[in-house]
Amino acid sequence: MDKIFISAKELSEIMDISLGHAYKLIKQMNNELKQSGYLVVAGKVPIAFFKKKFFGGVE
């Protein structure tokens, strides 16, 4: 089974940002998902949503 979530640590490595900033970005994305009616996992965000927000959904 493929991973569907990206963690703050992975996000910080991919984007070359601090771990604290990665957690802030994940919190923002999770708040947006919550407002749209989705359930969220603290400290993680769906990879597909991350790609959509930062890369326009491009692989």
Q: Could you tell me the pTM of the whole model?
A: 0.87
* Binned average pLDDT, 10 residues per bin, the chain of 59 residues: 92 96 96 96 94 79
pLDDT for the residue 2: 86
Cβ neighbour number for residue 2 with a 10 Å cutoff: 4
pLDDT for the residue 58: 63
Cβ neighbour number for residue 20 with a 10 Å cutoff: 10
**C-alpha R_g of the chain:** 11
pLDDT for the residue 55: 82
**Structural tokens at position 55:** 């890369």
**8, 19 contact by CB (below 8 A):** yes
Angle subtended at Cα 40 by Cα 27 and Cα 18, rounded to the nearest 5 degrees: 30
